[in-house]
Amino acid sequence: MELPLHLVRLAGVSGHEVVLEVNAAPVTVATVLDALDAAYPMLEGTIREHGTQQRRAWLRFFVCEEDWSHHGMDAVLPEAVVNGKEPLIVLGAIAGG
């Protein structure tokens, strides 16, 4: 998946992409984020709210050039993402100053 700059720095990874192993089927937005939290615990709570587990309001998800922000956490990801050909992109909304 592809992460925004602040989360890349927080996780201490190089580049914007991280490769995750998801041991769940089907592979959904939630299971990918679970795998991300497990691999990088410092990111827990930064993409999903701790309590509700919902997407933070100012973040957006993109998959295969489509906005998946409102597909829901249990939406099953396309094969291209599952096999690593396309990333699940987390993008910060354009806001702030």
Partner 1 sequence: MKQVRLLVGTRKGGFVLTSDGARKDWKVEGPFFAGWEIYHMKGSPVDPDRIWASQSSGWFGQVLQRSDDGGKSWAAAGNKFLYEGEAGTHQWYDGTPHPWEFKRVWHIEPSLTCADTVYAGVEDAAMFKTTDGGATWTELPGLRNHGTGKDWQPGAGGMCLHSIVINPEDEKQMFIAISAAGAFRTDDGGASWKPINKGLSSKFLPVPTAEVGHCVHHIAMHPSKPKTLFMQKHWDVMRTDDSGENWTKVSGNLPTDFGFVIDVHAHEPETVFVVPIKSDSEHFPMDGQLKVFRSKSGGNDWEPLSRGLPQKECYVNVLRDAMCVDRMDECGVYFGTTGGQVYASPDGGDNWNAIVRDLPAVLSVEVQTLP
Residues at the site binding partner 1, with contacts judged by CB under 8 A: 4-7, 9-10, 41-42, 44-47, 49-51, 56, 58-59, 92-93, 95-96
Q: Alpha carbon 80 to chain centroid distance?
A: 15
Give the side-chain half-sphere CA count within 13 A for 12. Answer: 4
CB of 9 to partner 1, least distance (A): 8
* Residue 31 φ/ψ, nearest 5 degrees: -70, -35
3-state DSSP call for residue 43? Answer: helix
| Closer residue to partner 1, CB minimum distance, 4 or 78 | 4
Name the phi and psi angles at 23, rounded to 5.
Answer: -95, 60
* CB of 27 or CB of 47, closer to partner 1: 47
Least distance CB 60 / partner 1 (angstroms)? 10
Q: Which is nearer to partner 1, 57 or 80 (CB)?
A: 57
